[in-house]
Amino acid sequence: MHTLGEIAKLVNAELVGDGELKITSLASIDCAKSNQLSYVVSEKYQEQLSSTQASAVIISKSLQKYCNTSAIIVEDVYLAFAQITHLFKPKVIHISGIHSSADTHNATIAPNCCIGKNTTLGINTIIGANTIIEDNSSIGDNCIIGSNVSILQGSTIGNNTVIESGAVIGSEGFGNARDKHKHWHSIAHLGNVIIGDRVNIGANTTIDRGTLEDTHIHQGVRLDNLVHIAHNVIIGEDTAIAACTGIAGSTQIGKRCMIGGMVGVVGHLSICDDVIVNAKSTIDKNITVAGMYTGIMPLMPHKKWQIIGVWLTKLDKITQYLNIKLSHLKGK
């Protein structure tokens, strides 16, 4: 817990409001409650800023007129947010063996594991050698966790789930802010990962924790080896994703989807239920109609690719036009 005054001092900000206000955590502008700090980077969120329940917000001077609560005024909101996140990141110390506060329910635990404090392991669950389960994590009944798996702080895993060797659950997301000197500042990700029942996760697959809210993998999902799921992604029930696919942050994938190998999904997209995506495709827009999709192009300069992409979408109309012209010529 930190006071608003302490936080403002950290980022050299102008403080508006009570400097002694206790801030317990960070939250997005829509989800924030009392004693939480949020942030707004754009005027398009002015309505959410005006109605937020957050006790304080990080904003620029131009947004102050829309703010009805305490505020930290800065030039670069996103950079300040990145710096502040590290104040609220729990510190984890790995100690070999099983912490005295862990509830293991007589789970089978192989040698050289690290089971953190306040963790829970379900009945008939098996933990492979050299696996790390960090503080405040929970694993359900009848799970099989392979060797050299890392289940990081605060992760929740449902019943009858299998996680193969080398997987990392709850890794830090790829969030960075740039300062005026073009130097990067990492964002500490404070959300967790929630995995449902009957999920299979392949070897060396990584699932990042959410930035502020959680990353969700719903029941029945199948993830192949070497799949990457970024922060705040939501994957619907019974969706299957093949190897070497990467899902960028804050994407939502529906139920019963099948995504082929080496597919790339751009962030902040929505894919509806019952979608099939063929291997090596790139998804760069929302998919709102169920069906099979393919999006493969050869490598070329980006501007040329954009031009070709426009022409390809008009190919049917061009063909119709040329056929009409050809029929007129034949008529002459």
Enzyme catalytic residues: 231
57: closest CA among 86, 32, 93, 90? 32
278 vs 135: CA distance, rounded Å = 39
153: closest CA among 70, 216, 93? 93
User: Under the phi-then-psi rule, with left for phi > 0, alpha for psi from -120 to 50, and beta for the rest, what region is 244?
Assistant: left
Asked if 73 and 60 count as a contact pair (C-beta separation under 8 A), the reply is yes
Tokens of 168: 């990392």
266 vs 317: CA distance, rounded Å = 28
Residue 219: strand, helix, or coil: coil
CA distances from 48 to 61, 66, 166, 212 (A): 17, 9, 41, 17
42 vs 31: CA distance, rounded Å = 17
CB atoms within 10 A of CB 331: 6
Side-chain-facing half-sphere of 156: CA atoms under 13 Å: 13
Tokens of 290: 């169920």
